[in-house]
Amino acid sequence: MYRYDEFDHAFVEARVNQFSDQVARRLSGEISEDAFKPLRLMNGVYLQLHAYMLRVAIPYGTLNGRQMRKLAHIARTYDRGYGHFTTRQNIQYNWPALSDIPAILKELAEVEMHAIQTSGNCIRNVTADHFAGAAADEVADPRPYAEILRQWSSVHPEFSFLPRKFKIAVTGSERDRAAIQVHDIGLQLKKDEEGRLGFAVWIGGGQGRTPILAKKIRDFLPEADLLSYTTAIMRVYNLHGRRDNKYKARIKILVHETGVEQLSAEIEAEWAHLKDGELKLPDADIAAINTYFAPPALTPRAEGWGELAAWKKSDPGFAEWVGRNVAPHRHPDYAMVTISLKPIGGIPGDASADQMDAVARLAQEFAHDEIRVTHEQNLVLPHVALSDLEPLYRALLTDGLATANAGLITDIIACPGLDYCALANARSIPVAQEISNRFGDPKRQAEIGELKIKISGCINACGHHHVGHIGILGVEKKGAELYQISLGGSGDEYASIGQITGRGFEPGEITDAIETIVDTYLANRTDTDESFIECYRRIGADPFKAALYSSEAEAA
């Protein structure tokens, strides 16, 4: 993985010192809250309902054991013993004191981490496929390009005060595991007919109060042109993006209002001035960054094939976990392991300090010291020998980390909601917990198959409800919580925005409504191979609406 060079160390240290001074001056009363707020936000510090919140960047979701141990240490020393992994592959601490944040940032810098640009109207942490560098279907590792973008965008003077926040995601294969079509810029690594590496470029995707899928503006951009072309997009957005209305300031609105053809032409015109200039990436620089992400030396471990078969036969729980949470690695003797942070009835994305320590230890023992954070709020060990799966599973079991539900109905994304968030209108976590408990039986989950439920506690859509197969949006109506359901959303390469079913449901009704939807799917699917989203796309919303609202129709 990437290691800081002297410049990176000096840059982060200078920023820690600068912000420490700003915090000291704020605490002494030298600067007002109005002056301090934009400074703290630039350093990832929010004020929520109960306390400050610190959002720490995990670039493209990649961590090593030492870094995870530091996150555990921070949770234990400065917070309440846990952290929350988010849909942007970051971690949030819910209870840090402002007076402790300089010390926390100093500790993070020791392990090459920071909280810079995790808030504010700038280019945020660049996200990537969590299976990067290991997936069997990968064209190329997206992380070197995410790292190039990170270096280029960090305190970029031209792009630090954009009309609104800006999110870039990179995926390395046709199968989109980074949800690129709901990002401001989405990049898909691919090869052209001559075998050259480059990107399909998408712009203008986003969720929030106006969900819009991105438009592809280039089918192939050579890798050397990554920064010059991205700069062209940013310049056009920075110039024309609306600053009069924060709700219309994202690039998706600019694309929508201007039209993709005209905007694309403006980007191409801007790029014409930039493409052969200093932003063109030299092959040597790309190669240098790529060396940081060289895959670990994976020695053949063919004995794992036979062992795995025997273990699966003798332990149904292990077999179930392998079936759900283990995916093929490009090396046949290895696998990618998803560590679910969705225990039945638990809080999606939360991990205790002890669990973080356990994951760090297991990554070092079994997974070449690599950990990933997924946008679905789980963790991944990307390089585990088949021969090590059984001891890994045993260890995960003891730490409450072996829930076999990756991709199933209880693998729910949920934002912190009104239990923590100052922006929220309704709670998300209790809804996720009740659904998880209702469907927690392993047999029932397996029968239902792949089904992604995503829950947001407000219109900002941090819980990605617009792209949930079943999306749930919490709103406040007449002072009470109400939950709107949308169906048919998807955040993968066949991206779609979910459609609202009708009137919302009260907290006591929402789990029953989800069960009605699931039962309708089970009654209508052609066979067990037809997933929920496939079934929905075939039969449409009407059977689900009829099931949800039939009693009202009869009453009328």
User: Cα separations (Å) of 388 from 5, 200, 354?
Assistant: 34, 37, 22
Of 130, 143, 177, 427, the one binding another protein by CB under 8 A: 427
Task: Fill in the per-residue mask, 14 to 33: x = in contact with another protein (CB under 8 A), - = not in contact.
Answer: ------------xx-x--xx
Nearer to another protein, 212 or 413 (CB): 413
Listed in sequence order, the residues at least 6 apart from 354 whose beta carbon sits closer than 8 Å to its beta carbon are 72, 399
- Residue 402 Cβ, how far from another protein at the closest point, in Å? 7
SS (H, E, C) 254-294: HHHHHCHHHHHHHHHHHHHHHCCCCCCCCHHHHHHHHHHCC
CB of 496 to another protein, least distance (A): 31
Residue 402, H or E segment: none
Secondary element (H or E) of residue 549:
helix 542-555
Nearer of residues 86 and 171 to another protein, judged by Cβ: 86
Q: Whose Cβ is closer to another protein: residue 185's or residue 360's?
A: 360
Of 33 and 542, the one with the shorter C-beta distance to another protein is 33
Q: What are phi and psi of 175, to 5 degrees?
A: -75, 115
Beta bridge partners of 197: 191
Q: Is 299 in the site for another protein (CB under 8 A)?
A: no
Q: Which of 359, 373, 481, 486 binds another protein (CB under 8 A)?
A: 481
Closest approach of another protein to the CB of residue 101, in Å = 10
- Residue range at the interface with another protein (CB under 8 A); choices 3-11, 273-281, 429-437, 465-473: 429-437
Residue of 122, 347, 359, 510 that binds another protein (CB under 8 A): 347
Q: Are 536 and 451 in contact (CB under 8 A)?
A: no
- Contact window for another protein (CB under 8 A) among 80-88, 293-301, 363-371, 546-554: 80-88
Q: How many residues bind to another protein according to rule CB under 8 A?
A: 47
| Binding-site member from 138, 350, 370, 388 for another protein (CB under 8 A) | 350
List Cβ neighbours of 360 (8 Å cut-off, separation of 6 or more): 65, 66, 68, 69, 72, 371
Q: Which of residues 130-189 bind another protein (CB under 8 A)?
A: none
Rounded to the nearest 10 degrees, the angle between the axes of helix 303-314 and helix 389-398 is 40
The smaller minimum CB distance to another protein, of residues 351 and 535, is found at 351
CA dihedral (546, 552, 554, 556) positive or negative: negative
Give the x-and-dash track for 394-423 against another protein (CB under 8 A): ---xxxx-xx--------------xxx---
**Is 311 in a helix, a strand, or coil?**
helix
Smallest distance, another protein to C-beta of residue 90, A: 17
Smaller CB separation from another protein, 385 or 401 = 401
For residues 71 and 150, what is the distance between their CA atoms, to the nearest angstrom? 21
CB 412 within 8 A of CB 436: yes
As a whole number of angstroms, the distance between CA 410 and CA 325 comes to 13
**Residue from the set 98, 111, 289, 475 that interacts with another protein by CB under 8 A:** 98
480 binds another protein (CB under 8 A): yes
Distance between CA 14 and CA 21 in Å, rounded?
A: 11
81 binds another protein, rule: CB under 8 A: yes
Placement of tokens 């809250």 in the chain: 33
Nearer of residues 30 and 552 to another protein, judged by Cβ? 30
Q: How many residues does the chain have?
A: 556
- In terms of CB distance, is 390 or 481 closer to another protein? 481
Residue 354 near another protein by CB under 8 A: yes
- Binder to another protein among 433, 490, 496, 511 (CB under 8 A)? 433
CA–CA separation, 466 vs 457, rounded Å? 12
Residues lying near another protein in the complex (CB under 8 A): 26-27, 29, 32-33, 47-52, 80-82, 94, 97-99, 343-347, 350-355, 397-400, 402-403, 418-420, 424, 427, 429-430, 433, 476, 479-481
